[in-house]
Structure 1
């Protein structure tokens, strides 16, 4: 027996085992609709995946080019030229005639780098009749290059430029690396790289692993095969190496059993931990606190604490399987699990100070997100005392409450209350957080239960604010039933504040505010005065809300109230991008949108510009969040049908300097601006140019805007471009689900209309008919089509099928049909029936149907 499983970078074709990623890659290359991105941990078989696709799919008229971006270049021009030079060198026979022209043009024409690259790619495509597939590997190595953003921008632009250069429909990219492209972008004001279709390269299934064993001709028992799979769980490299050692034993006529497999695993991986990929993973865990704490969270079964980004990082580190997005979160195989032993992790964590002190520092500074990341790994950590764990659970609950994660706050607090005797203040604060969390969840009975417990413990620091929140709870239950009681509670708080009692400013201003709200339909003047008293009694953080209500009640007081509003903003005490959910007397962006609408209706544009400048200068933690805040306001306004104010804010965003607006927000603002102002050519250009890069899911607005664009092109006679826009939105997600097909019904109809008579038009109509047949009445909510229009659409599709389907018609001249003679007829809607002549005689005369063979 000769050895087959030798160490090799390239797996021989006869030993290659296909996985789901191979199928995905084939579909991407076949469709050419979007670029693909192979996101994969190291040593998982990425190179062999690419080689296999080239072997299987490259025809004589195609070019599959592999470019290793780990080769360093000084400029983007050098990098672009290396891509083209590699294509020319490897495919010299196919491209000999244009090589000199390309090199000559570089000397003669002094164009910018990306335009030179586009020109050279077009020349290459002019020489071949098939596909040009460019694989850019090791894209994460671009992090060291100043020009990385330009490479991504050029790849992105190819798909949009298909509208101008039809040859680019034969060009597509496959990118691969161990980092999300969006994480590599340096200039966040340019664009996150929304890379099309992601390919996650998974491990072998048991069936696929069995296929590998069969290909190697290893004669192994089911128990041995099962034991190898037990340890490696289909990891290609681990499986190959273990099988290679087994092959050596067979060649030496040694007995191979389950104990043999355990010994091989111990020697190779779980004793010294110095062999790939175990050594690489352990190094990552030692140096990366986030990854280490994520693995601890998996061991502690706290999966809800793992963000999508952290899960992706765990996958790219080789710790999670490729089904992490939908499957159970667990260490991908037992070899990795043993190499990341809990005691080793805790020792590293201790050495790196999984610091309670650091968590307290974040907590005191109001950085609740960062504090929670540490607390969550302390609450069940046996390395910490029971007191530290209990305190961390309490602080974690506070963090979650501040961040608006109410159920998590409840989980931290409800069964871990401090003792009321020894820790009364903390105990009452926990009761308050529980009451508040249940109130936000609209569980009013539980909320009132906790607030009543606080009220019974009078006096305490939370007594008056608990009264206010109990009144709010009663109002949520039934405001008319409890109106008098609610008024009484709020007046009692005001009365106590005017006496010798110390009442928190939040409780006082809330009481006045609530009285103003309860009075506004009865006595507007009294209500207005209550709002002003609320403003006067509040700290800066709570002053804005009563001013907004006062102005809404009496627009005539604009000149006196607006300076107060600007003054509150300039205090710097109101932050709109803090990540903390506004509640109570804190001002939400929804309320800000109402204030902006008032200013627009009063035509106070200059004052409104001052207001927005104050937000930009005083109310943000990060400048780049300004556009995100404004966009949320604009969406509130749009949902309230305040189109004038919406247009003002969206236009304001479009005029911002790049440091204040993210590319994604710029795209979304152009989308909504085009929706309310169809003649805005600038918004239209930005929207359609950015659609493929910034759209993760398609909504009704996208479909409507594309409909309008496509109809405009059709009316102008530009059918070819209209088809390209149809394909642009259809290919964005692909027709992979029923819901997407329903969403795109009108676009599919327009594409059918675009096509000329013939086979393709019939094929499009038949595909559309198959979709329509599965559409139910309740599906139409996914579209802007009502039932009547749906029936009209359906009729048009059927009529197209009838018109495009060749029909053999027999005309029997002079024949007289007997009334009871059986004939076969076809109706205009395509329906065929076999009946007695007497039943369809009138339909034939009217031309509703005709006799066929």
Structure 2
């Protein structure tokens, strides 16, 4: 037996085992839609994936170019030229005739770097009739360069250039590395890189691992095979190295059993931890607190604590398998699990100090996200005392409550209540958070139970606000039945606030506000108006806006006086619209703010409204660049409630903001919704369609509708070629990988069928669409904007197209002779059927105008 599993960067073709990623990559290259983005940890076979695609797919007229971006260049021009030079050097025979022209143009023309690059790409494409696939590897290395944004922006913009340069339909990119797409472009004021079709390079399945053994002629017992898979779980590098050692033992005619495999694993990986990928993973864990805490969360079974971004980072570090997106969150194999031993992790955590002091600092400053990240690790860390863990659980519950994560707040508080004896204030605060969390979850009976416990412990700091909230729960349970009791409770709170000063402003304000809403429901607007003003007067600045909005909605005639109060409240700086904390109680929601804006629009108070928006920008934001995001959410609230005039005003306002106040994504979305409201807005349409591939992660009904209108307008104008390009633009965004997407895109697929000229392409499109239609059930139509009647019309049109485009081959029956006066039935090309004597239609049959069908 000769050795086959030798250390090698490039796997020989005869030993290469294909995985699902190979299938995905082939599909992307064949479709030539959005670029592929291979998101993968190191040592997973990414380079061999690219090489295999080149072997399998590169035709004689194609060019597959591999560019290593880890090479450092001073400028973007040097980087662009390196890409072109590499393509020219490796494909000199194909591109000899244009090489000199490209080099000469660089000397003669002094164009900007990215335009020079576009020109050179076009020249290369003019020399080949096939595809140009550019593989950009190690893209995370490029992100360190100052000019990296320009390179990736250029890759993204090629897809817009397809409208101008049809040759770019034969150009696509495959990017690979360990950087998330959202992290590639650093400057958040320009377009993000979010157009890649993600390819997750997974481990071998057991079947694929068996395939590797077959290719290498390794004959092993089932027990040994299972033991290798037990340790490596199909990790390509680990499996290759273990099998290589097994191969050595077999060549020496020694016995191989499960104990042999365990010894190999121990020697290679779990004793010194100095071989890839284990050494790299441990280094990452030591230096990265977030990753380390995430691994601890997996061990503690706190999977819900892991954000999608952290899961992705764990995958890119080589700790999670590619199944992580489907919810399979576990350390990807036992070798890595052994190398990330719990005691080692805790020791590092201790060295890096999970500081209670730091958590308290974040907590007191209102940074509940950062505080919770520390508290969550202290709660289950045995290095901390039970007292520290109990206190951290309490603080963690407060953080979750502030962040609107109600079930997590309940879990922290309900099982870790402080003893009422000795810790009465904390105990009552915990009861209040439990009551409030259940109220937000609409579990009113449970909420009332906790508020009643607080009320029974009178006096305490939460007594009056608990009274008010108990009244709210009664209203939710049965308002008509409890109306009088609710009114009495709120009046009692108001009376107490007048008699003495022990009632908290939030409770007084809430009581007045509740009385306002209760009287409003009785259609007593004058009394309600006064209650709302009382709520405003008694509230702290952060609670004043809500009652003013309600008061104004009852009496537009008081606009000027109330509006000036609103502007004063905003200028106080106590209203924050981007705090990240869920508004509740007397805090103003963006939906309520949308109602206020609509009032100003209805009254044509444009100057006042602009002053309001300027106050929001100046005084009500933690971060200035959140301004457009806040306004966009307001505009969507207005649109969803069919207040289109106000929504259009806000969307137009957003689209005209200075760049420092608007993100590229918000600019795109504002134009999208603006075009939806105003189909004649050419400026919005231009911005939307130009930005579609950059800023659309998944399509929705509005996207489909806007593309429908655009494509139909192009067809009516006779521009069929561009109409097809727009069809492909939206179809290729996600690809037709699922029935849900196919249903959403039914009308676009139909329009593409209409665009195609008669012949094989039209027939093929109709047949593919018919296969989709056959799988669609009536209950699936909710995914699209079409109804059952429209669906039936589409179905009939597709069937008619298939019939009309299918060539009818006449069957000639040998020996059959028709008499001149014999009646025959024939079908003409227009599908009409006629029965006549043979002599009258003999010439039509010979010319192929009709076919005998009986």
Q: Give the TM-score normalised by structure 1.
A: 0.95
In the TM superposition, what is the alpha-carbon distance from 1:147 to its structure 2 partner? 1.1
Point out the more displaced range, 245-254 or 690-699. Answer: 245-254
What's 1:846 paired with?
none
Question: How far apart are the structure 1 equivalents of 2:803 and 2:254?
Answer: 72
Give the corresponding residue for 1:558.
559
Residue 755 (str. 1) matches residue 756 (str. 2): yes
Number of the residue aligned with 1:80 = 80
Query: What corresponds to 2:845 in structure 1?
Result: none
1:135-534 equivalence runs, <5 A: 135-500=135-500, 502-520=502-520, 521-534=522-535
Q: Relative to 1, partners in 2 of residues 1:825 and 1:482: Cα closer, same or farther, differing over 3 Å?
A: farther
- Give the drift of 1:707: 0.7
| Other-structure match for 1:64 | 64
Q: Does residue 596 of the first structure (1) align with residue 597 of the second (2)?
A: yes
The separation in 2 between residues aligned to 1:171 and 1:813, in whole angstroms, is 61
What is the match of residue 677 of structure 2?
676
Q: Which of 86-95 and 493-502 deviates more? A: 493-502
- The corresponding residue for 1:121 is 121
CA shift digits 1:373-403 (9 cap, x unpaired): 1111111111111111111111111111111
Contact 2:152 2:184 in 1 (8 A): no
Query: Structure 1 CA distance, aligned partners of 2:488 and 2:135?
Result: 72
Deviation at 1:191, TM superposition (A): 1.7
Residues 812 and 359 of structure 1, relative CA distance in 2, 3 Å threshold = farther
- Per-residue deviation, 1:807: 3.2
Higher mean alpha-carbon deviation, 504-513 vs 789-798, is at 789-798
Question: Are the equivalent residues in 1 in contact too, given 2:195–2:697 (CA < 8 A)?
Answer: no
The secondary structure found in structure 2 opposite 1:325 is: helix
Distance in 1 (alpha carbons) for counterparts of 2:851 and 2:437: 71
Question: CA deviation digits over 1:74-94, x for unaligned, max 9?
Answer: 111111111011000000000
Partner Cα distance (1:138, 1:238) in 2: 22
* Secondary structure of 2:544's aligned partner: helix
SS of residue in 2 equivalent to 1:144: coil
C-alpha spacing 1:460/1:788, structure 2 compared with 1 (3 Å): same
Equivalence for 1:844:
none
Cα deviation per residue 1:9-57 (whole Å; 9 max; x = unaligned)? 1111111111111111111111111100001111111111111111111
* Equivalent position SS for 1:41: coil
Work out the number of aligned pairs and report it. Answer: 831
**Contact 1:417 1:427 (C-alpha < 8 Å) held by counterparts:** yes
Aligned-pair Cα RMSD in Å: 1.9
Distance of aligned partners of 1:206 and 1:824 in 2 relative to their CA distance in 1, 3 Å threshold: farther
Where 2:66 maps in the other structure, the secondary structure is: strand
Contact 2:278 2:336 in 1 (8 A): yes
1: CA distance between counterparts of 2:107 and 2:828? 68
- Whether contact under 8 Å (1:68, 1:137) holds in the other structure is yes
Alpha-carbon distance in structure 1 between the residues aligned to 2:586 and 2:524? 22
Distance 1:217 1:769, change over 3 A: closer
1:802–1:828: 8 Å Cα contact kept in structure 2? no
Task: Find the aligned partners of 2:208 and 2:793 in 1 and give their Cα distance.
Answer: 49
Which is further off, 89-98 or 796-805? 796-805
Match of residue 644 from structure 2: 643
Instruction: Report if aligned partners of 1:509, 1:538 keep a CA contact under 8 Å in 2.
Output: yes
2:55 corresponds to which residue? 55
Q: Which residue of 2 aligns with 1:12?
A: 12
CA–CA distance in structure 1, aligned partners of residues 821 and 317 of structure 2 = 82
1:25 is aligned to 25
What's the CA shift for 1:255?
2.3
Q: Following TM superposition, by how much is the alpha carbon of 1:195 offset from its aligned partner in structure 2, in angstroms?
A: 3.0
1:702-781 maps to which residues of 2 (within 5 A)? 702-781=703-782
Query: Deviation at 1:501?
Result: 5.3
Task: Give the secondary-structure state (helix, strand or coil) at the position aligned to 2:324.
Answer: coil
- Separation in structure 1 between the aligned mates of residue 829 and residue 424 of structure 2, nearest angstrom: 83
Give CA deviations for 1:585-618 in whole Å, capped at 9, x if unaligned.
0000001100111111111111111111111111
Distance in 1 of aligned mates of 2:203 and 2:774: 39
Which residue of structure 1 aligns with residue 800 of structure 2? 799
* Mapped contact 2:594–2:637 kept (Cα < 8 A): yes
Q: Write the distance in 1 (CA, Å) between the matches of 2:852 and 2:381.
A: 82
For residues 272 and 770 of structure 1, the distance between their equivalents in structure 2, rounded to whole angstroms, comes to: 57
- SS in structure 1 at match of 2:581: coil
Distance 2:827 2:463 in 1: 84
Change in 2 beyond 3 A, CA 1:487/1:813: farther
Question: How many Å apart are 1:828 and its aligned residue?
Answer: 9.1
Structure 1 residue 780, shift from structure 2 partner: 2.2
Distance 1:441 1:358 in 2: 31
* Structure 1 contact 303–329 (Cα < 8 Å) conserved: yes
Structure 1 pair 529/10, CA: closer, same or farther in 2 (3 Å)?
same
Structure 2: where are the runs of 5+ without partners? 812-817, 834-849
| Separation in 1, partners of 2:820, 2:164 | 55
Secondary structure of 1:172's aligned partner: strand
CA distance in 1 between partners of 2:250 and 2:4 (Å): 12
Cα 1:809–1:230 shift into 2, 3 Å? closer
In the alignment, the residues of structure 1 paired with residue 325 and residue 790 of structure 2 have an alpha-carbon distance, to the nearest angstrom, of: 38
Question: Does the 8 A contact of 1:140 with 1:181 survive in 2?
Answer: no
Mapped partners of 1:131, 1:53: distance in 2: 13
Q: What is the rounded CA distance, in whole Å, between the counterparts of 1:573 and 1:511 in structure 2?
A: 21
Deviates more, 1:408-417 or 1:704-713: 408-417
Instruction: Output the CA distance in 2 between the equivalents of 1:416 and 1:601.
Output: 52
Contact kept? 2:76, 2:113, Cα under 8 Å = yes
Whether the 8 Å CA contact 1:826–1:851 is kept in 2: the answer is no
Change (3 A) 1:809 1:15: closer
Shift of 1:638: 0.3
